[in-house]
Structure 1
C-alpha cells in the first residue's frame, strides 16, 4: 500500500492503530522518524547500500575478527589500571596494527567508506538507524521469506 498524505487518514481508512502498521521507507527522517513519532508506526528502512556492506563483511570477516581481537586485547591490558596507576603499557604496536587493519577494511568499501563504521567507531548513520528504524534491509523483498505473523526480535545478547 503506497499512500501519500495524512497518516491519520490512513489509520482511519484501515481501521488500525499505529503499532499495527509497518511503514516502509528509504529516508530515515522523512519516512521513518516522522511516521514513528506521529503515529507510532513500526518502521522498516530500505538501505540498498547494505547489500555491498554485507558482501564486504562476508568476504573480509577475518579483518573484522582481527579488529575485535585487538580491541579485546587492549581492554584486557587496561582492565586493572586506573588514572592513578603509574604503569603505562606500550601499545604502539597494537595501535599500528589497528590502523593497518582499519585501513584495509576501509579500502574494501571504495570512496565513500562503510555506512556503519568509521575506523572502529559506529557512524552517525548507523547510530540513527539503530535508534529510529525497527527493521532494515537492502530491499523490501526480504519480507517474502517470512509469514505475515512473523515476530522480528533482536538476537539475545
Structure 2
C-alpha cells in the first residue's frame, strides 16, 4: 500500500520521501511470475517476516539477526564454559551408566547440579543482563527453536551472501536425535569422503563437471 493513495499496486515513484507498507504476498508472486521455493524472502522478524511467509506461500526464508555477531564473539571467547558444561553432563551420564531400576544405589549429584547452575549462569552473564538470544546453558531458547524450524538461512547481515557464488547449494548440517547421538560413527576426512563418493559422482556428474 502506498502511503498517500492507500491502494495496492506497484508504486510508480521511488525516493527517500516514498515508502510502502502492508502489501500482499500473492501480488508479489503474480508480479514476478514465480511462487513457493522460487522466492527467497529476507526479513528481521521471526513471526511477521519468516513464519507467515513460510506458512502462507512456502517461500524460502532468510532471517537477519544483527545480534548474531555479538553472540558468535562470546561463543568463541567463552567456549571453555560450554566445554565444562558438556563435561559435567558426561560425568553425570557415567555415574548412572551401570545403574538400572533394580539398583538401590543413589549417587549424590547435588554438587554437580550446583556446578551446572553456576556455569550456566556464568555463560548467560557473558551475553549481558538479558542472557543469550539463542541459548540458556546447554538448552536452546524458544527463539532459537523457531529460527531453526522456520528460517532456511540466517545471518547477522544479508551481505554475507557476497561470500558465496550464486550456484552455491546451502544445506543444513546434520542434527542428531537423542538416540542417534549414542552411536559413534567413524569420521571421514575430505580425501576419504571424495574417494567414497567418486563412483557416484562419475555416474551423476553434470556436463562440464570434472570428477577426481
Q: TM-score surpassing 0.5? A: yes
Q: Distance in 2 between matches of 1:101 and 1:38?
A: 42
Query: Which has the higher mean CA deviation after the structures are superposed, 53-62 or 93-102?
Result: 93-102
Structure 2 residue aligned with 1:137, among 143, 146, 155? 155
Q: Distance in 2 between matches of 1:83 and 1:50?
A: 44
1:128 is matched with which residue? 146
Classify 1:80/1:23 alpha carbon distance in 2 versus 1 (closer, same or farther; 3 Å): farther
1:102 and 2:86 correspond: no
Q: Distance in 2 between matches of 1:90 and 1:135?
A: 44
> What pairs up with 1:9-20 in 2 under 5 angstroms?
9-20=27-38
CA contact (8 A) 2:82 2:138 kept: no
Count, aligned residues: 154
Offset of residue 82 of structure 1? 3.8
Compute the TM-score of the two structures, normalised by the length of structure 2.
Answer: 0.68
Query: Which has the higher mean CA deviation after the structures are superposed, 124-133 or 3-12?
Result: 3-12
CA contact (8 A) 2:82 2:137 kept: no
Offset of residue 97 of structure 1? 1.8
Offset of residue 83 of structure 1? 4.4
Classify 1:124/1:84 alpha carbon distance in 2 versus 1 (closer, same or farther; 3 Å): farther
Q: Distance in 2 between matches of 1:154 and 1:114?
A: 22
- 2:165 is paired with a residue whose SS is coil
Offset of residue 132 of structure 1? 1.1
Q: Deviations over 1:72-105 (max 9, x none)?
A: 2212322343444322111122112212211221
Classify 1:95/1:47 alpha carbon distance in 2 versus 1 (closer, same or farther; 3 Å): same
Offset of residue 60 of structure 1? 0.5
Q: Distance in 2 between matches of 1:132 and 1:4?
A: 21
Offset of residue 149 of structure 1? 1.7
Compute the TM-score of the two structures, normalised by the length of structure 1.
Answer: 0.90
Offset of residue 120 of structure 1? 3.0
Structure 2 residue aligned with 1:62, among 69, 77, 80? 80
Structure 1 unaligned segments of length 5 or more: list them: none
Shift >4 Å, 4+ stretches: none
Structure index of larger Rg: 2
Offset of residue 6 of structure 1? 1.4
Q: Deviations over 1:16-38 (max 9, x none)?
A: 12101110000011000111011
